[in-house]
Amino acid sequence: MDPTPLPFEDGFAAEKLFNQGFSYTYDDVIFLPNYIDFAADTVQLKTNLSRNLPLSVPFVASPMDTVSESAMAAAMASLGGIAIIHSNTTAAVQASLVRAAKSRRVPILHDPVFLPPSAEIASVDDFSDSPFILVTESGNPKSTLLGYVSRDDWLKTNQNDKGSRVGDYLVESPVTVPWSYDLAKIDATLNEKKANSVGLVRDDGELVDLVTREDVDRVKGYPKLLAQGSVGPDGEWIVGAAIGTREQDKERLEQLVKAGVNVVVLDSSQGNSIYQLEMIKYIKKVYPEIDVIGGNVVTSYQADSLIQAGADGLRVGMGSGSICTTQEVCAVGRGQATAVYKVSCTAYKSGIPVIADGGISNSGHIVKALSLGASTVMMGSFLAGSTEAPGAYVYQNGQRVKKYRGMGSLEAMTQGSDQRYLGDTAKLKIAQGVVGAVKDKGSVLNFIPYTLQAVRQGFQDLGANSLESAHNLLRSRELRLEVRTGAAQVEGGIHGLVSYEKKYF
Ligand X SMILES: O=c1[nH]c(=O)c2[nH+]cn([C@@H]3O[C@H](COP(=O)(O)O)[C@@H](O)[C@H]3O)c2[nH]1
Ligand Y SMILES: NC(=O)C1=CN([C@@H]2O[C@H](COP(=O)(O)OP(=O)(O)OC[C@H]3O[C@@H](n4cnc5c(N)ncnc54)[C@H](O)[C@@H]3O)[C@@H](O)[C@H]2O)C=CC1
294 binds, options ligand X, K ion, ligand Y, none, Cβ within 5 to 8 A by partner type: none
Length of the chain: 505
C-beta of residue 356 within 8 angstroms of C-beta of residue 365: no
Q: Which is nearer to ligand Y, 44 or 248 (CB)?
A: 248
Indicate which single residue of 112, 317, 335, 359 sits in contact with ligand Y (rule: CB under 6 A): 317
Nearest to 270 by CA among 339, 337, 338: 339
Candidates 199-207, 267-275, 474-482, 488-496; binding stretch for ligand Y (CB under 6 A): 267-275
Q: Which is nearer to ligand Y, 186 or 314 (CB)?
A: 314
Per annotation, catalytic residue among 315, 420, 456, 480: 420
SS3 378: strand
The CB density around residue 397, as the number of other CB atoms within 10 Å, is 6
Q: Which is nearer to ligand Y, 147 or 321 (CB)?
A: 321
Hey, which residues between 288 and 307 contact ligand Y (CB under 6 A)?
A: 296
DSSP output for 156-222: HH-TT---EEHHHH-EE---EEETT--HHHHHHHHHHTT-SEEEEE-TTS-EEEEEEHHHHHHHHTS
Shortest CB 373 distance to ligand Y, Å: 18
Q: What is the dihedral of CA 225, 227, 229, 234, to 10 degrees?
A: 160
* Non-local CB neighbours of 5 within 8 Å, separated by 6+ positions: none
246 binds, options K ion, ligand Y, ligand X, none, Cβ within 5 to 8 A by partner type: ligand Y
420 binds, options ligand Y, K ion, ligand X, none, Cβ within 5 to 8 A by partner type: ligand Y
Q: How far apart are the C-alpha atoms of 435 and 440, rounded to whole Å?
A: 16
Site string for K ion, 311-340 (x = CB under 5 A): -------------x----------------
Nearest to 199 by CA among 232, 225, 177: 177
The answer to whether 319 is annotated as binding is yes
Candidates 251-259, 266-274, 392-400, 447-455; binding stretch for ligand Y (CB under 6 A): 266-274
Specify whether 252 is catalytic: no
Q: What are phi and psi of 405, to 5 degrees?
A: -135, 150
- What is the β-pairing status of strands 120-121 and 394-396? unpaired
Indicate which single residue of 283, 297, 407, 481 sits in contact with ligand Y (rule: CB under 6 A): 407
Contacts 24+ apart (CB under 8 A), 489-492: 489/27, 489/28, 492/30
Shortest CB 98 distance to ligand Y, Å: 17
Site string for ligand Y, 345-374 (x = CB under 6 A): -------------x----------------
Per annotation, catalytic residue among 104, 151, 252, 324: 324
273 binds, options ligand Y, ligand X, K ion, none, Cβ within 5 to 8 A by partner type: ligand Y
Specify whether 345 is catalytic: no
Rule CB under 5 A: which residues touch K ion? 324
Give the active site residues. 324, 420
Binding-site residue positions for IMP: 322, 357-359, 380-381, 404-408, 432
Binding-site residue positions for K(+): 319, 321, 324
